[in-house]
Amino acid sequence: MKRYPMKPADPRAQACTDAHVRALLAELHERGKAFGLVWPSATTDRTLDGRVLVRFNTAPVSTLLNLITLLFDADRSDDPCGS
């Protein structure tokens, strides 16, 4: 089944609170370590139009969720290129 990235306006991303985003960032840090991906400064930034922004140059939560999804997929896959 083909998955599509979550868009910033997705209602699921808009429903994330600051506490949810902090938990997702902790998950990103933990899962990213296995792949050598470290974001020491990633944190919540501010809320804009009801959306919590993540400090990846004020990326929306959807970016964080998409990164975690990619890490989950990579963790489950033996072939990192998907072929």
pLDDT digits (tens, 9 = 90+) for 15-72: 888 898 889 888 888 888 888 877 766 777 778 788 777 776 567 788 888 888 888 8
Give the single-character DSSP code of 77.
-
Residues 6+ apart with CB under 8 A from 64: 21, 24, 25, 28, 54, 56
The residue ranking higher by pLDDT, 21 or 1, is 21
Which residue reads 């963790």 in tokens?
75
**pLDDT classification of 82: cutoffs 50, 70, 90:** low
Alpha carbons within 13 A on the beta-carbon side of 73:
14
- Residue 58 is predicted with a pLDDT of 63
- Residue 65 is predicted with a pLDDT of 87
- Residue 18 is predicted with a pLDDT of 85
Single-letter amino acid, residue 18: D
- Residue 45 is predicted with a pLDDT of 73
Return d(Cα 28, Cα 67) in angstroms, integer.
8
